[in-house]
Amino acid sequence: MIKIIVVGDALVSSENMEKAAYMLHLNDEIEVEKFEWFSELSKDEFQKKILLIERSGSEKVPIPDGILELLPDADYLLVHLAPVSQTMIRAGTNLKMIGVSRGGLENINIQEAAKHNIPVIHVIRNAVPVAEFTLGLILAETRNIAKSHYSIKTGGWEKEFSNAFYKTTLSNLTVGLVGLGNIGKLLVEYLQALKIEVQAYDPFVSEEELMRENITVKKVSLQEIFENSDIVSLHTRLTEETTGMINKDLLFLMKKNAYLINTARAKLVNKVDLLEVLQNKKIAGAALDVFWTEPIPVNDPFLKLDNVTLTAHIAGDTVDAIARSPYLLKNVMNDYFAAGFSKMIIH
C-alpha cells in the first residue's frame, strides 16, 4: 500500500490533488489522506498568505493542522502553496518524494529535503499563460497599446509617446531572454513564429538539452543580452544569487531604444537602478507585471513614469492554470517514474 498525503488550499482543491494522486503510476494500491491549508479563505484573503510565504518561507507560517501525526507513514507528499517545513520533513521518515504543483519553491524547505535525500519535483503550472502574457506586454509597451487606452479613457487622443523615435515592427527587433526554463522556451517558440530574432542566456541549460527539445536559439553571455538586444525579457528564478542581478552595470549597457520586460520576480532587478535609467530615458521603456511591494504603493515613483506599462501580477492568472496544476504535476511525476530522472528535481 502506497500512502500519499495531499494538501489543498484556497486556489487548488484537495479534491483535485486527490484525483491526481490516484493517477500516479506507482504499481501498487494507493491510499490518499487529504488536508487543508486555509482553504476556507477567499482569493483576496489567501493572497495575504501567499505574500507571507513568498517573503518568509516555509518556517514562518502555520503548517496544516494534524499533518504531523500522519507524515511518518506517508510515502509521498503533494502540496500547492502549503508549507513543507523542517519539522514536517523530519516527521516524514518514509517520504520518497515531495511534489509541488507550482513553479516557485518558497514554501518548501529545500535544504532540509536535500539533507534527507528527498527529491522535490515541481511544475510550471502557468508556463503557457505567462509566455503569452509576456508577448502581450512586449506588444503593449513597444506599440503603446496600454498608454493609448489610458489616454482615451482620461479624455485625450494622444498619438505621440516617449518612444516615438523607436517605434517599429517586432520583426525588426532582437529579443534577449534571461532564462530558458519552461516559460523561456515557450516564448522562443512564439517569438520565432513571428520571425523575431531571439538570443538567450541561461548557464544551466545545455546545448544538448535544447537539441533534444528541438529548440534552436543563439546562446550568448548575460552582458551580450543587454548590449545587443532591443528587448530584454526576464524568465529566471529568484535565488540568493539572482537577487538584484539586473543592476546598473547591465542596465547601462542597454541601447537607448531598448525595453526591459519582467514577468518573473521584481527582486531580480535593482529597483533604484531601473528607476534611474527610466527617469533619465536611458532606455525606451519597460513593462512590469511584478513589483517590489505588492500592491504597488500609491506614492511609488514608477506610477509617475510615462515610459512603463504596469500590470498587477496577473501574467499567470487564467481560470484553468492554477486549479488544474495537480494534473500537470502528476504528468511530471509519472515521467520521473518512467525515466528515473527529471529536470524538475531539486536536489
Look at residue 141 in the predicted model and tell me its pLDDT.
98
Among 122, 125, 235, 265, the active-site one is 265
Map grid coordinates 506599440 to a residue.
143
Q: Is 197 inside any structural domain?
A: yes
Q: Which of 201-210, 272-281, 307-316, 317-326 has the lowest mean pLDDT?
A: 317-326
Q: Is 316 inside any structural domain?
A: no
d(CA 4, CA 91): 14
- pTM assigned to the model: 0.78
Residue 315 scores a pLDDT above 50: yes
For residues 141 and 101, membership in a common domain is answered with no
Number of domains in the chain: 2
Among 90, 237, 313, 324, the active-site one is 313
For residues 285 and 151, membership in a common domain is answered with yes
Look at residue 114 in the predicted model and tell me its pLDDT.
96
Among 197, 294, 324, 347, the active-site one is 294
For residues 114 and 69, membership in a common domain is answered with yes
For residues 166 and 51, membership in a common domain is answered with no
More confident: 321 or 287: 287
Residue 106 scores a pLDDT above 70: yes
For residues 121 and 143, membership in a common domain is answered with no
Q: How confident is the model at residue 318 (pLDDT cuts 50, 70, 90)?
A: confident
Q: Is 315 inside any structural domain?
A: no
For residues 112 and 23, membership in a common domain is answered with yes
For residues 238 and 208, membership in a common domain is answered with yes
Whether 294 sits among the annotated catalytic residues: the reply is: yes
For residues 185 and 259, membership in a common domain is answered with yes
Whether 313 sits among the annotated catalytic residues: the reply is: yes
Q: Whole-number mean pLDDT of the chain?
A: 94
Residue 345 scores a pLDDT above 60: no
Q: Is 76 inside any structural domain?
A: yes
Look at residue 343 in the predicted model and tell me its pLDDT.
41
Contact 219, 202 (CB under 8 A): yes
Q: What is the pLDDT of residues 13-47, one digit of tens each?
A: 999 999 999 999 998 999 999 999 999 999 889 98
For residues 59 and 136, membership in a common domain is answered with no
For residues 143 and 187, membership in a common domain is answered with yes
Q: Is 209 inside any structural domain?
A: yes
Q: Is 120 inside any structural domain?
A: yes
d(CA 210, CA 89): 34
For residues 297 and 342, membership in a common domain is answered with no
Look at residue 344 in the predicted model and tell me its pLDDT.
41
Look at residue 340 in the predicted model and tell me its pLDDT.
66
d(CA 269, CA 51): 18
Contact 187, 177 (CB under 8 A): yes
Look at residue 239 in the predicted model and tell me its pLDDT.
87
Domain containing 276: what range? Answer: 127-310
Q: What is the pLDDT of residues 71-91, one digit of tens each?
A: 999 999 999 999 999 999 999
Average of per-residue pLDDT across 39-56:
90
Q: Is 302 inside any structural domain?
A: yes
Q: Is 317 inside any structural domain?
A: no
Q: How confident is the model at residue 104 (pLDDT cuts 50, 70, 90)?
A: confident
Q: What is the pLDDT of residues 165-219, one digit of tens each?
A: 999 999 999 999 999 998 999 999 999 999 999 999 999 999 888 988 899 999 9
For residues 102 and 157, membership in a common domain is answered with no
CATH code of the domain covering residue 292: 3.40.50.720
Pairing mode, if any, of strands 231-234 and 345-346? unpaired
